[in-house]
Structure 1
Amino acid sequence: MIFILIILIVTSADLLIKNHIERYYRNGKEKHILGGLIRIRKLNNYGGFLNYLENHFTILKILSSILILIIAALLAKALPKAGLSLKKAGLSLILGGALSNEYDRYSKGCVTDYFSINLPFIKKIVFNIGDFAIFAGILFSLTGNSKK
């Protein structure tokens, strides 16, 4: 049950934040927090990560929908098994983030990204919480799959 809750929390939190950003961060408004480390602003992403496939939106929607179904199937297969908590948590994080972004793609035609981290190697990339959940979920899943 905790893993379903993770999916619901990630998806809901990201969609609520995106709604706030859509309402209050129009026309280039931005805010810097944590001493300028985090920059909050609205960016419409018409592709996947790093705008991948932005000129092939239909293909992107189909591929991401297929990947969501695969992740859901992997989670459904793992849930009844004892152990594998890290893998289950990882798959739940991936699914929560992916569902939030996919909802945006289908409902608005783009994904709302809203913050960047002011570090030299990533400061031009704009993320959302769903993206971070996906990244963390991949790390958890890979760690949860490793054999000792």
Structure 2
Amino acid sequence: MFYIILIMVLLLSDQWIKNRIEQRRKLHQKEEILRGNIIITKYYNKGAFLGLLKDKQKLLERINVIAIGVMIVYLIKLILGKGSTLSKLSLSLIIGGALSNVYDRIQRKYVIDYFSFKGLKKVVFNMGDMFIFLGSIMLLFYKNK
């Protein structure tokens, strides 16, 4: 049950931030925070990471829904089979972030990205992306033990 709650908290927190960004920021308006190390910018991404498949949105939606479905089934298998805590946690992070982005893709027809890092100004992320990244790194380290 903990992992389902975690997924929902990640999904809802990212959606809450995206809604605030959508309501309060102008598209492409930049604001530097933390001494310029993080740049807040509202950006609409119609594709996957770095805009991939932006002209094939229905295909991208299907791929995302299928991938999330497979991960949910696998997470349930791990929960029922007493899988490792690290693998369940990493999958929960990935699923929570992916659900937030897929929700955007289906409801808005684009994903709201809203921050970048000082050295990567042209790449804009959202918290869902960070959850996916962190979960993937954790899963890689778990698998390479």
CA RMSD of aligned residues (A): 1.2
Aligned counterparts, 1:17-32, within 5 A = 17-32=17-32
Check conservation: 1:88, 1:141, Cα contact below 8 A.
no
| Aligned-partner residue type, residue 140 of structure 1 | M
For residues 115 and 46 of structure 1, do their structure 2 counterparts lie closer, same or farther at Cα, with a shift above 3 Å needed? same
Match in the other structure for 2:114:
114
Deviations 1:13-51 (A, max 9, x none): 100000000001114432111000000010000000111
| Aligned-partner residue type, residue 4 of structure 1 | I
- Tell me the CA shift for residue 83 of structure 1: 4.7
Q: Distance in 2 between matches of 1:129 and 1:27?
A: 18
Match in the other structure for 1:143:
141
Match in the other structure for 1:67:
67
- Tell me the CA shift for residue 84 of structure 1: 0.6
Q: Please state whether the residue corresponding to 1:79 is helix, strand or coil.
A: helix
Q: Distance in 2 between matches of 1:81 and 1:144?
A: 17
Normalising to structure 1: TM-score of the pair? 0.93
Match in the other structure for 1:98:
98
Gaps in structure 1 of 5+ consecutive residues: none
Q: Please state whether the residue corresponding to 1:114 is helix, strand or coil.
A: strand
Normalising to structure 2: TM-score of the pair? 0.95
Check conservation: 1:85, 1:144, Cα contact below 8 A.
no
Bigger helix fraction: 2
| Aligned-partner residue type, residue 14 of structure 1 | D
Deviations 1:91-126 (A, max 9, x none): 00000000000000110000000000012xx22100
| Aligned-partner residue type, residue 47 of structure 1 | G
Q: Distance in 1 between matches of 2:140 and 2:95?
A: 15
Match in the other structure for 1:55:
55
Check conservation: 1:87, 1:143, Cα contact below 8 A.
no
80-89 or 62-71: which moved more?
80-89
Calculate percent identity across the aligned residue pairs.
40
Gaps in structure 2 of 5+ consecutive residues: none
Q: How many residues align?
A: 145
| Aligned-partner residue type, residue 146 of structure 1 | N
| Aligned-partner residue type, residue 128 of structure 1 | N
Check conservation: 1:4, 1:92, Cα contact below 8 A.
yes
